[in-house]
């Protein structure tokens, strides 16, 4: 299994670093986990568009911002006869029910501002006018996708909107990508048990103030790895201008088999074997 690192930072691109995106390849299948701003600059469209499936972890803009680039490229490739299949894009269902409701939306559900924004994001994505080229489908924690020889499953994360960790299992390796998650209540320790690679967010560093538990400190990514015991913990979702070594140092103290995600790098995974 090959994992190409396309984007590692949030909330904006900076200095050849892009918002989140990881391209998994095994055999003829390609799975793009998140489509953050700038990630198409790391893709080889002549090859990568064929048999591509996109999975958006949640409807925050840093995780789907490059979908316009992908949509337009798909349209042009169709027109040039370079592509004859639609690219399938899986997105979470928007949050339609919450406890602290503020008003009734057009679906008849009580919603908060956060919920409303995911409905707007959902409507934006599914009304791009690109249905001839992109095919949107929704998923949740019960969904299992079998794409060629890859089996893909999901776990719900504590985060402001419906957000999912993704597990990709193939003959040769298993990886889990956390996407964005709070610390309390996430089930990554179980979900990522003994994986070959755990790609885990580490948005905060010791000394930074986290106003709410929607993201992890690098140390917490290390703590999760201590129990999940992946062959390698790969940190991602950094602040654009902070050196990645700072995150590495904090997590490595807790879990020695830790590395940082770097744009453009391709990891080759075999079971319990990692060559960075
Ligand atoms: Zn998020
Ligand atoms: Zn994010």
Q: CATH no. for residue 24?
A: 3.60.15.10
Average pLDDT over the chain, rounded to an integer: 91
Residue 256: which domain range? 2-275
The predicted structure's pLDDT at residue 273? 53
DSSP-assigned states of every residue in 49-115: TTTEEEE---S-HHHHTTHHHHHHHHHHHHHTTS--SPEEEEEEPPP---SS--EE-TTS-EE-HHH
Cα 27 to averaged position of ligand 1 atoms, centre (Å):
31
Specify the pTM: 0.92
Cα 30 to averaged position of ligand 2 atoms, centre (Å):
22
The predicted structure's pLDDT at residue 211? 86
**Average pLDDT value for residue range 43-72:** 97
Cα 204 to averaged position of ligand 1 atoms, centre (Å):
13
Share of the chain above pLDDT 90, in %: 83
pLDDT tens across 81-138, in order? 999 999 999 999 876 654 444 444 444 555 556 666 788 899 999 999 999 999 999 9
Ligand closest to 160 (CA) is 1
The predicted structure's pLDDT at residue 195? 96
The predicted structure's pLDDT at residue 112? 58
Rounded distance between C-alpha atoms, residue 193 and residue 152, angstroms: 15
The predicted structure's pLDDT at residue 275? 52
Rounded distance between C-alpha atoms, residue 196 and residue 231, angstroms: 5
The predicted structure's pLDDT at residue 116? 67
**Does the pLDDT of residue 227 top 90, yes or no?**
yes
pLDDT tens across 153-169, in order? 999 999 988 899 999 99
**Average pLDDT value for residue range 5-29:** 97
The predicted structure's pLDDT at residue 98? 45
Cα 72 to averaged position of ligand 2 atoms, centre (Å):
23
**Are the beta carbons of 110 and 116 closer than 8 angstroms?**
no
CB neighbourhood size of 77 (10 A)? 18
The number of distinct structural domains making up the chain is 1
**Does the pLDDT of residue 151 top 50, yes or no?**
yes
What is the distance between the terminal CA atoms of the chain, rounded to a whole angstrom?
A: 13
Cα 2 to averaged position of ligand 1 atoms, centre (Å):
25
Q: Sheet harboring 52-55: ordered strands across?
A: 134-139, 87-92, 52-55, 29-33, 21-26, 2-7, 266-270, 273-275
Cα 255 to averaged position of ligand 1 atoms, centre (Å):
24
Please name every residue paired with 21 in a beta bridge, in sequence order, or none if there are none.
Answer: 7
Cα 195 to averaged position of ligand 1 atoms, centre (Å):
23
**Average pLDDT value for residue range 224-237:** 98
Share of the chain above pLDDT 70, in %: 90
**Does the pLDDT of residue 229 top 50, yes or no?**
yes
């Amino acid at each position: 299994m090959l994992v190409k690192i396309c984007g590692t930072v949030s909330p904006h691109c900076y200095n050849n670093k892009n918002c989140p995106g990881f391209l998994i390849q095994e055999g003829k299948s390609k799975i793009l986990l998140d489509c953050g701003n700038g990630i198409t600059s790391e893709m080889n469209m002549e090859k990568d568009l064929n048999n591509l499936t996109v999975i958006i972890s949640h409807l925050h803009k840093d995780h789907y911002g490059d979908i316009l680039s992908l949509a337009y490229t798909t349209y042009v490739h169709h027109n040039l006869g370079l592509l004859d299949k639609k690219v399938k894009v899986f997105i979470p269902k928007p949050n339609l029910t919450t406890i602290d409701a503020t008003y009734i939306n057009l679906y008849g559900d009580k919603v908060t501002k956060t919920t409303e924004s995911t409905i707007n994001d959902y409507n934006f994505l599914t009304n791009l006018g690109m249905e001839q080229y992109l095919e949107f489908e929704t998923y949740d924690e019960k969904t299992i996708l079998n794409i060629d020889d890859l089996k893909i499953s999901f776990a719900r994360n504590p985060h402001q909107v419906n957000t999912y960790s993704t597990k990709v299992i193939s003959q040769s390796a298993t990886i889990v990508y956390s996407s964005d998650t709070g610390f309390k209540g996430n089930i990554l320790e179980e979900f990522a048990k003994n994986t070959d690679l755990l790609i885990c967010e580490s948005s905060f560093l010791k000394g930074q103030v986290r106003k709410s538990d929607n993201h992890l400190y690098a140390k917490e990514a290390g703590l999760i790895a201590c129990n999940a015991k992946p062959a390698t913990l790969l940190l991602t979702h950094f602040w654009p201008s902070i050196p990645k070594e700072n995150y590495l140092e904090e997590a490595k103290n807790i879990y020695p088999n830790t590395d940082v995600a770097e744009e453009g790098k391709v990891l080759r995974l075999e079971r319990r074997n990692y060559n960075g």
